Amino acid sequence: MGVGLLWASAEDIARNKPAVRSAYRCLLRALNLEKVPLSLAARESKKAEVRHIFELAASERSVHNIRELLDIARHSVSLLEKGEIPGESR
């Protein structure tokens, strides 16, 4: 085990599950906004990326990493709502 990491208990995971699902849904919805300058194929590709990230994160047991995932998801949604694509240089 890593030093300094707090491992999530079953209660922590159950408590975070609704927040993670909500973040996942918000990201998928935000990718469909008209402000986001993506073609249909690019939108579907980004949605597949989001699904893959959340599938990998489903087995995550570190409280810090779960919080970080939620923070990144919120930040990405805010960028998408502004019409910007997260991860692209300006």
What global pTM score does this model have?
0.80
Residue 51 lies in a domain: yes
The number of folded domains in the chain is 1
Residue 64 lies in a domain: yes
Within a 13 Å sphere around the CA of 62, how many CA atoms are in the beta-carbon half? 11
> pLDDT tens, 56-82?
888 888 888 888 999 999 999 999 999
Residue 88 lies in a domain: no
* Whether 30 contacts 76, CB under 8 Å: yes
Measure Cα distances from 31 to 11, 26, 37, 90 in Å.
Answer: 31, 9, 10, 18
Residue 17 lies in a domain: yes
> pLDDT tens, 6-41?
777 778 778 888 889 999 999 999 999 999 999 999
Using the predicted structure, report yes or no on whether residue 2 has a pLDDT greater than 50.
no
CA distance 47 to 27: 8
Residue 87 lies in a domain: no
Give the range of the structural domain holding residue 48, as residue numbers without chain letter: 10-81
Residue 4 lies in a domain: no
